[in-house]
Amino acid sequence: MTPLQQTLVRLSLEVNSKATLNEAADLDRKFGEVGIDSLEAMSLMLAVTEHFGITIPDAEIDAVMTLNELARLVERELANAGRQA
Amino acid sequence: MMGIVAIGKYIPVGRESNYAKKAQFEIDDEFIRDKLGVEAVSRKAPDEETSDMCVKACADLESRLRRRIGTVDCLVVCTQNPDGAGLPHTSAIVHGKLGLPQDCACFDVALGCSGYVYGLSIISSFMRGNGLSRGLLLTADPYSKIIDPQDKSTVLLFGDAATATLLEDAPGAWVPGPFRFGTSGKDGGALENRRGALHMNGRAVFNFSVTAVPPQVNALLKDAGLDPAAIDLFLFHQGSKFIVDNLTKRLGLPPEKVPMNLAGQGNTVSSSLPLLLQDRLDDARLSRLLLSGFGVGLSWASCLLTRT
């Protein structure tokens, strides 16, 4: 996993310590499939935006279904801000 | 000193079970119990008005006091779902139903989940400023008037209830203050009445709650020169178990200092804090509480409550 993916996994486990995020393939599984419910996903999005100091438009956050989709959004927002993950 | 001496409550007997809606909204028992924290929401009768709920809360207050309330100098109703179209104001309607004297000052305060804390500041300063000695702060905001039964984000959370808080100068009264207030009107669209239907952006309300409230609570403690350890209990507006749990975690509070009671009736808007407070007023182990209400507006307010 990349450092960004590792950070997202860590933040996910802080939201739900029982989430199934042991393998790279888990990052392409939907949140519900890895044990992160809708409210935990909400909490995760907030934790991610706070951790990286970024803002993600509501419509795009609503469309995020997996950690890798979230990682791509974070990379884009950081690039827009002239920063790296 | 003038402060809270007793609280009456009215929670309608009608209930809608969230367990009965599992298939409709694709949720399970764990989500209901551990995340929402609401097993059933209370629902007033269809022909029951906001003022009727206030009157019933006052009746409960009298039964707890084991006496009539007597002369009331001031009556404030906190609601955003008044009787009819809001004219006349609901507090005036309650005044009529209770047969209160003509020199009683009555007005409504149009606030939601922050309304009880704002209301305590408003009524206590109004009474002090005008030399009044007995006042009633009523909360009654039946969201069932505007909830869409197909809306998962609201129908599983909001319940109907009313409370009546008596403020007077009495030994052992709980004195509110200091206070801190907050408003973010630009974000008001997160929770609004759109042509008679409640609309809530759950994520926006969650983000607001867990990012705005902790700094205000910490600022209030600093105003009072107190550490969190000096507070006996933190009473947070019962938005959902998930919100209260996240506030507890972000503030680093021991869970045993953060009570919850929304399982049986849900988020009762401005009634949620007085419902939490009611049974704790007479607990001799408690002398200093922190209250924080937050929600529609977006609006938030926190205060200390100290037993004299």
| Last residue within a domain, chosen from B121, B146, B169 | B169
CATH number at residue A53: 1.10.1200.10
> From the CA of B238, how many Å to the nearest CA of chain A?
16
Is A23 part of any domain?
yes
Is A20 part of any domain?
yes
Nearest CA in chain B to A15: B246
Tell me, yes or no, whether B153 and B190 share the same domain: no
Q: Give the separation between CA B46 and CA B111, rounded to whole angstroms.
A: 23
Q: Which residues make Cβ contacts (< 8 Å) with residue B19, sequence separation at least 6?
A: B29, B32, B39
ipTM of the complex: 0.90
Question: Residue B246 and residue A42: Cβ atoms within 8 Å?
Answer: no
Alpha carbons within 13 A on the beta-carbon side of B151: 16
List the structure tokens of B176: 């509110």
For residues B292 and B218, the answer to whether their CB atoms sit within 8 Å is: no
Tell me how many domains chain B contains: 2
Question: Residue A58 and residue B203: Cβ atoms within 8 Å?
Answer: yes
Torsion sign across C-alpha atoms B168, B172, B178, B182: negative
Tell me, yes or no, whether B210 and B272 share the same domain: yes
Is A85 part of any domain?
no
Q: Is the pLDDT of residue B224 over 80?
A: yes
pLDDT at A56: 87
Is A60 part of the contact surface with chain B (CB cutoff 8 Å)? Answer: no
Q: Which domain holds residue B240?
A: 174-307
Tell me, yes or no, whether B161 and B179 share the same domain: no
Tell me, yes or no, whether B37 and B119 share the same domain: yes
Tell me, yes or no, whether B114 and B235 share the same domain: no
Radius of gyration of chain B (CA): 18
If you count residue pairs, one on A and one on B, with CB atoms under 8 Å apart, how many are there? 23
Q: Is the pLDDT of residue B278 over 90?
A: yes
What confidence tens digit (pLDDT) does each residue in B134-145 have? Answer: 999 999 999 999
Nearest alpha carbon to residue B69 among B170, B140, B1? B170
> From the CA of B268, how many Å to the nearest CA of chain A?
20
Q: Give the separation between CA B108 and CA B80, rounded to whole angstroms.
A: 9
| Last residue within a domain, chosen from B118, B137, B169 | B169
Instruction: Give the pLDDT band (50/70/90) at residue B279.
Output: confident
Q: What is the mean pLDDT of chain B?
A: 97
Determine whether B85 is exposed, middle or buried from the number of CB atoms within 10 Å of its CB (0-12, 13-18, 19+): exposed
Q: Is the pLDDT of residue B270 over 80?
A: yes
Tell me, yes or no, whether B39 and B84 share the same domain: yes
| Last residue within a domain, chosen from B151, B169, B187 | B169
Instruction: Give the pLDDT band (50/70/90) at residue B272.
Output: very high
Q: Which letter, b or e, does each residue of B35-62 get, where b requires 16 or more Cβ atoms within 10 Å of its Cβ?
A: bbbbbbbbbbeeebbbbbbbbbbbebbb
Cβ-based contacts of B212 with chain A (< 8 Å): none
Question: Residue B201 and residue A58: Cβ atoms within 8 Å?
Answer: yes
What confidence tens digit (pLDDT) does each residue in B138-170 have? Answer: 999 999 999 999 999 999 999 999 999 999 999
Tell me, yes or no, whether B73 and B203 share the same domain: no
Tell me, yes or no, whether B112 and B146 share the same domain: yes
Tell me, yes or no, whether B161 and B210 share the same domain: no
Tell me, yes or no, whether B234 and B255 share the same domain: yes
For the whole model, what pTM was predicted?
0.95
Q: Which residues make Cβ contacts (< 8 Å) with residue B292, sequence separation at least 6?
A: B117, B213, B216, B217, B234, B235, B236, B237, B300, B301, B302
Instruction: Give the pLDDT band (50/70/90) at residue B215.
Output: very high
Q: What values do phi and psi take at B195, rounded to 5? A: 50, 45
What confidence tens digit (pLDDT) does each residue in A15-66 have? Answer: 999 999 989 999 999 999 999 999 999 999 999 999 999 988 888 888 999 9
What confidence tens digit (pLDDT) does each residue in B77-127 have? Answer: 999 999 999 999 999 999 999 999 999 999 999 999 999 999 999 999 999
Is A54 part of any domain?
yes
CATH number at residue B41: 3.40.47.10
pLDDT at B69: 85
What confidence tens digit (pLDDT) does each residue in B40-63 have? Answer: 999 999 999 999 999 999 999 999
**Number of residues that this document lists for chain A:** 85
pLDDT at B133: 95
Tell me, yes or no, whether B128 and B185 share the same domain: no
Is A41 part of any domain?
yes
Tell me how many domains chain A contains: 1
Q: Which domain holds residue A16?
A: 3-80
